[in-house]
Amino acid sequence: MSAQTFVQQFAMQPVDSAGFDTALAHAGDALVGVYFWGQDCFNCEQFKKAAGLQADAFLGLGLHWLHADVYADPALGQRFGLHGVPTFYFFHRGRKLGRITSWPGWPAFETAVRDLRRRIEAGDAAS
């Protein structure tokens, strides 16, 4: 699946270093997932394949998605100290809540996102 088709399927909004903070602010109260990826990245392809196979569950996480090709925008990768892709960052009200480095597989990914949601609902992650 092409990167373009994938981000369209999951309504991922493109972001770059210049507009990153504005994109977070526009997400409001949503739990934001940022998918940092790169062209010709094997593990990025594995993530796309897994998300495609679990599309309903993936969409059911209710994340507001942003995505960035950090090979094309290395400044953004440097800002977040990325050492590899895919990497996923999660934000709520502009505050960084967590990070997943590489693709851990669907069960671990889903559990991590659900745990973040529980923290937000409990007030532990609110700004």
pLDDT at res. 1: 66
Residues 6+ apart with CB under 8 A from 99: 87, 88, 89, 90
Q: What is the mean pLDDT of each run of 10 residues along the chain (127 residues)?
A: 80 96 96 96 93 92 96 96 96 96 94 95 69
Alpha carbons 14 and 109: distance in angstroms, whole number? 21
Alpha carbons 46 and 63: distance in angstroms, whole number? 20
Q: What is the pTM of this model?
A: 0.92
Q: For residue range 71-82, what is the model confidence (pLDDT) as tens digits? A: 999 999 999 999
Q: Tokens in use for 86?
A: 């895919």
Cβ atoms of 85 and 44 within 8 Å: the answer is yes
Query: Going from the N-terminus, what domains does the chain have, and what CATH number goes with each?
Result: 3-122 (3.40.30.10)
